[in-house]
């Protein structure tokens, strides 16, 4: 072989070795990057761990805080607000009742015709209206006059052709989903506005008085007979359909729960008299906190950067408003530690750009190539095509965050059951009787996110055990904030109260 040929062969061998070395180096570097990303996931998985033992510690802490909140004002992270609702619908209510649901940039008016037999709602009329932007920053009189005008038009339409006795006053249940200090069954003062409303003259005022004045100005012949929270409305609706309903929880954008408590257990209001010996308590459990909650660095940062730091800790770990944001923060950190997701996009760096419905769609993607995961990453977070193993990792992140949320939600429900003696903890071995217990549940996080719902039910089974869980029913309701308000108005109507006493 000539010298030139030998030289070329040697040169090619050197190049080949260099290329091979470069490729090996890249593979080693790639493996290191992937190892860092997997390490971040393992850390998340460990920090979010919710063993049965840990969940039972959360249950016990919830029970303790509930007792403390009932004992004194400010004695607990749980507000344990009195609702003065001491009568829940029984299903025997008859007649037509109205409801007004004001909870955001839209409000709804409803008319419900009850037929006197449980689960029989003869008819329901509903109208939804947006609140004009200028009225959200106007005066209380302008706002309630607008609502009253809409209500009057609605009444004229649904009652067209019907005859109303001149002596019969229309009764209205009012759901007002803003922070209110309830003073009685039908009165409360606004503490502060949220959701974009800035009507200064209503803060500190009695909201029912303002609404009633507007109704009177329109000569509607309508009386506001109940002021309720949306969670309480969910309990009322659940109890209307099933008399064993003793608690309600909402899992949606936010989360809250309420339950039926013995009046003599509400120590902070000693001497409180109720016709039934019990009262619905609005827990406001979003503010619950205990050191047993599995908090991560992502939760800490999210809380610190929120508009209400050191508040609503439980809600920030389990509600729909925050789950997508937690997942986004995890993916962002992975992107910062490695290039497996490519360059960090502006959308990935934008808080709350990933909404919880999108993590549900990724989590529940069953396509072989995880096409939905790829679509969400590309269209929402501006992350281009990533390998299948990276898409699988995203699904795993969604799974860890959602599983923790659902299992903590189950612990909250179990805490209520423990407080009212429905968790089986006080039973002896020979006592085989367990009361049937129904918990009404509302909210898209539970109704539309299958994995959240299944994880919640699984955790409740683990906490309570098979024997007790068999007697606990989680029953979905729909429109507690609307129908529930009308039903509470009906159950407290003097007409139905007098009628029940005669039966």
Q: Which residues form the catalytic set?
A: 108, 177, 230
Give the SS3 label for residue 293. Answer: coil
By the 8 A CB rule, do 65 and 257 touch? Answer: no
By the 8 A CB rule, do 221 and 228 touch? Answer: no
Query: Position of tokens 């990057």?
Result: 33
d(CA 241, CA 38): 48
Give the SS3 label for residue 361. Answer: helix
d(CA 369, CA 373): 9
Helices 450-464, 356-363: inter-axial angle, 10-degree rounding: 80
d(CA 382, CA 377): 6
Helices 356-363, 371-379: inter-axial angle, 10-degree rounding: 150
Best CA proximity match to 83, nearest among 204, 233, 254: 233
DSSP string, 423-449: SSTT--TT------EEEEEE-HHHHT-
The residues, any chain, with a CB within 8 Å of residue 355's CB and separated by 6 or more, are: 324
**Sign of the C-alpha dihedral, residues 384, 385, 386, 388?**
positive
**Sign of the C-alpha dihedral, residues 474, 415, 62, 290?**
negative
Structure tokens at 56: 């039972």
Structure tokens at 448: 């539309």
d(CA 50, CA 297): 16
């Amino acid at each position: 072989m000539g010298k030139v040929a030998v030289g070329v062969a040697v040169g090619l061998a050197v190049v080949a070795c260099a290329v091979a070395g470069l490729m090996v180096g890249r593979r080693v570097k790639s493996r290191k990057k992937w190892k860092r990303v997997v390490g971040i996931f393992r850390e998340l998985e460990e920090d979010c761990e919710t063993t049965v033992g840990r969940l039972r510690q959360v249950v016990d802490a919830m029970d303790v805080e509930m007792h403390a909140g009932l004992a004194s004002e400010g004695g607990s992270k749980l507000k344990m607000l009195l609702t003065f609702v001491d009568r829940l619908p029984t299903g025997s209510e008859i007649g037509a009742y109205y409801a007004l649901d004001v909870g955001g940039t839209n409000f709804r008016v409803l008319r419900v015709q009850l037929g006197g037999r449980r689960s029989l709602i003869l008819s329901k009329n509903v109208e939804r209206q947006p609140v004009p932007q200028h009225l959200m920053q106007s005066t209380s009189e302008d706002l309630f006059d607008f609502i009253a005008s809409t209500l009057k038009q609605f009444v004229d339409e649904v009652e067209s052709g019907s005859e109303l006795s001149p002596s019969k006053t229309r009764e209205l249940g009012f759901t007002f989903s803003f922070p209110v200090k309830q003073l009685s069954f039908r009165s409360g003062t606004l503490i502060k506005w949220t959701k974009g409303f800035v009507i200064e003259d209503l803060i500190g005022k009695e909201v029912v008085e303002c609404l009633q004045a507007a109704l009177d100005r329109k000569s509607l012949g309508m009386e506001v007979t109940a002021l309720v929270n949306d969670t309480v409305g969910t309990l009322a609706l659940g109890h209307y359909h099933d008399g064993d309903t003793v608690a309600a929880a909402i899992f949606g954008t936010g989360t809250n729960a309420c339950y039926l408590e013995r009046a003599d257990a509400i120590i902070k209001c000693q001497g409180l008299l109720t016709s039934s010996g019990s009262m619905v308590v609005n827990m406001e459990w979003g503010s619950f906190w205990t050191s047993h909650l599995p908090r991560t660095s992502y939760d800490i940062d999210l809380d610190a950067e929120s508009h209400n730091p050191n508040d609503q800790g439980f809600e920030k770990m389990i509600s729909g408003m925050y789950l997508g944001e937690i997942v986004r923060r995890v993916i962002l950190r992975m992107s910062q530690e490695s290039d497996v997701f490519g360059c960090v996009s502006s959308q990935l760096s934008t808080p709350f750009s990933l909404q919880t419905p999108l993590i549900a769609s990724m989590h529940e993607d069953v396509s072989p190539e995880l096409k939905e995961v790829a679509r969400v990453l590309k269209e929402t977070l501006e992350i281009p095509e990533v390998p299948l193993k990276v898409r699988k990792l995203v699904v795993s992140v969604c799974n860890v965050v959602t599983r923790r949320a659902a299992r903590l939600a189950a612990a909250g429900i179990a805490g209520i059951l423990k407080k009212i003696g429905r968790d089986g903890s006080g039973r002896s071995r020979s006592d085989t009787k367990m009361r049937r217990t129904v918990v009404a549940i509302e909210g898209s996080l539970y109704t539309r996110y299958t994995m959240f719902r299944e994880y919640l039910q699984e955790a409740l089974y683990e906490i309570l055990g098979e024997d007790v869980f068999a007697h606990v029913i989680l029953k979905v309701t729909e429109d507690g904030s609307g129908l529930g308000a009308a039903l509470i108005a009906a159950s407290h109507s003097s007409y139905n109260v007098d009628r029940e006493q005669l039966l």
